[in-house]
Amino acid sequence: MMRNQLLLASAAALCLAVPGFATADTSDKQIALSNNYAGNSWRQAMLTSWEKVTGAAVEEGVVAAADAFTTAENQVTEQAAQIQNLILQGYDAIVLNAASPTGLNGAVKEACDAGIIVVSFDGVVTEPCAWRIAVDFQEMGRSQIEYLAGRLPDGGNLLEIRGLAGVFVDDEISAGIHAGVEEYPQFEIVGSVHGDWASDVAQRAVAGILPSLPDVQGVVTQGGDGYGAAQAFAATDREMPIIVMGNRHDELTWWKEQKDANGYETMSVSIAPGVSTLAFWVAQQVLDGVEVPKDLTVPFLRIDQDNLEENLETTQEGGVANVEYTLEDAQAVIAAASE
């Protein structure tokens, strides 16, 4: 009896003595990341961010574990089996980047029925019991026109570089761009090419269409294609238009060079791979008992003239600008969705 009290007292003293001792209710909870693909730089950065942020969270005792699992073949059946294994392994929450929006619903339902929190992000799932952190691609397109309207109040001719034909993301961003042009009718899209989100493809496509175009004041893009477009314009005697960038290292580097040489101004927008860490914090908040709406929206990572240098510095060569989210960021996103 006496000994127990002593133990308790010393434990309490220890808690007080260690500064920053986390007292979250989730300290015994385990979170798993189920990821369907790791074969490009965006996904690699996503996994690195996950490791960095969750590693620190585990060390601080916010959660007990946060392990990442990636399937080898990017197949629905394989990831469904993986989720079922994670259920068996006793995780309290599964953070999910899904291979299919609907194909995993059966496995996700199994997880929910077992009392597990499922938070999907980037590749979200439609199963109603899961949380979704989705990207508002339309807004990403629309915000480009809004920016250009601020820079060019009189409007002008725009060249649109699209992504990979037939892919959902390409349709969404383009729909947003066209909605933006309707909102700001002083702009006109005079040409449209597919750049496949790749610099070399975009350069060829833009070089091919340029001779048939009138003067172009702005280029709206989808990311990964801005550097190629700039190269295509540089090869002609046209004036360099405002090319919206997509946070890639080559795009930011070129922008920085131009900025230093002639004060070139533009902006850059894309989704940070660190969104996986946002999903982690959302899962932690749900485990903590916070009331979280099922549908959340990923904030964009926007780079402007004044924060170009710091973002370029932290971006790896060949990679994409990244940001790791904090608990406070997640709380802000939740609060925005709760309104």
Partner 1 sequence: MSLRIPVDTIRLAVPVLALSALLIAVFWLQPRAMSYLGLNLLFNLAVPIALATVAQMFILAVNDLDLSMGAFVSFAACVTATFLHSSPLLGALILAAAVAVYAAMGAIIHLRNLPSIVVTLGMSFVWTGIAVLLLPAPGGAAPAWVRSLMTAKPPLVPMAIVASVVIALVTHLILMRTSLGVLIRAVGGNQQSVARAGWSPLLAKAAAYALAGTFAVLAGIALVGLTTSADANIALRYTLLSIAGVILGGGEFVGGRVSPVGAVIGALTLALAGSFLSFLRISPDWQIGAQGAILVIVLALRLFLNKLERQERGG
- Judged by the rule CB under 8 A, the positions of this chain that interact with partner 1 are 38, 67, 69-73, 75-78, 80-82, 84-85, 87-90, 100-107, 109-110, 114, 168
Q: Is 136 exposed, middle or buried, given 0-12, 13-18 or 19+ CB atoms closer than 10 A? A: middle
Between 50 and 255, CB nearer to partner 1:
50
> What's the min distance (Å) between Cβ of 146 and partner 1?
30
- Shortest distance, position 94 Cβ to partner 1, whole Å: 13
Beta carbon of residue 306, minimum distance to partner 1 (angstroms, whole number) = 41
Q: At its nearest, how many Å lie between partner 1 and the CB of residue 81?
A: 5
CB of 314 to partner 1, least distance (A): 27
List all residues 6 or more positions away from 108 whose beta carbon is below 8 Å from its beta carbon: 83, 96, 118, 120, 125, 127, 129, 130
Matching residue, tokens 């916010």: 62
Q: How far is the CB of 137 from partner 1 (least distance, A)?
A: 15
Beta-bridged to residue 296, according to DSSP, are 133
We find the least distance from the C-beta atom of residue 163 to partner 1, in angstroms, to be: 16
165 by Cβ neighbours in 10 Å (0-12 / 13-18 / 19+) ranks as exposed
Residue 111 or 244: the one with the smaller Cβ distance to partner 1 is 111
For residue 114, the minimal CB distance to partner 1 (Å) is 7
Give the tokens for residue 303. Answer: 């780079």
Counted residue by residue, the chain has a size of: 339
Backbone angles phi, psi at 232, to 5 degrees: -65, -40
CB nearer partner 1, residue 180 or residue 273: 273
Measured over the CA atoms of residue 316, residue 320, residue 326 and residue 329, the dihedral's sign is positive
Task: Closer to partner 1 by CB, 78 or 260: give it.
Answer: 78
Compare residues 72 and 213 and give the one whose CB is closer to partner 1: 72
How would DSSP label each residue in 274-299?
A: THHHHHHHHHHHHHTT----SEEEPP
Asked if 64 contacts 30 with a C-beta cutoff of 8 angstroms, the reply is yes
Closest separation between CB of residue 84 and partner 1, Å? Answer: 4
Helices (H), the chain: 2-17, 41-59, 76-88, 105-113, 137-151, 168-183, 199-209, 226-234, 249-262, 275-287, 308-314, 327-338
Nearer to partner 1, 82 or 311 (CB): 82
Collapsing DSSP to helix, strand or coil, 304 comes out as coil
- For 188, residues 6+ apart whose C-beta sits below 8 A from its C-beta are 155, 156, 157, 158, 181
Strands 301-303 and 268-270 come out as antiparallel
Q: Which is nearer to partner 1, 70 or 305 (CB)?
A: 70
Toward partner 1, which CB reaches closer, 84 or 305?
84
Nearer to partner 1, 19 or 115 (CB): 115
Q: Contact 92/31 with Cβ under 8 angstroms?
A: yes
